[in-house]
Structure 1
């Protein structure tokens, strides 16, 4: 399963991360950075709260009205992070 995809939208590039695969890889490769008991969902929710995850797509909803951490973009589901954020090009 791929960790994610690169998408271009509105002249900007985004990494669309697979919520589970990207978290599992990060947890395996960097166990000291991800506390024991941390979940993929809470990690990606934090990425949205800290404005690391963002994009022009609307977050998927769930019953109860709270949005999920992922979006649907071009038939794919994942968590969008601007490539400029990943590469620290925003300053």
Structure 2
């Protein structure tokens, strides 16, 4: 069921978008967190990424992988300013 869902999701994402942007996460480090480990492993992020990679190449789409240290949650979408400190409750 999970693999079927990932195939349908990745196909829909690639067909509907010219560019797909994902964040490069270290899933291995996320699994060390005891509270999140089960949810992270159930998500199959590594498998989704591999499906996106080959389907983007297959359909002629662009896959952009953002570095894990890029401050995307601290970046203002309007002006591009990066905030030095930004509490988690304020981020979107």
TM-score by length of 1: 0.31
TM-score (norm 2): 0.31
Between Structure 1 and Structure 2, which shows a larger proportion of strand residues?
1
**Which structure has the bigger radius of gyration?**
2
Bigger helix share: 2
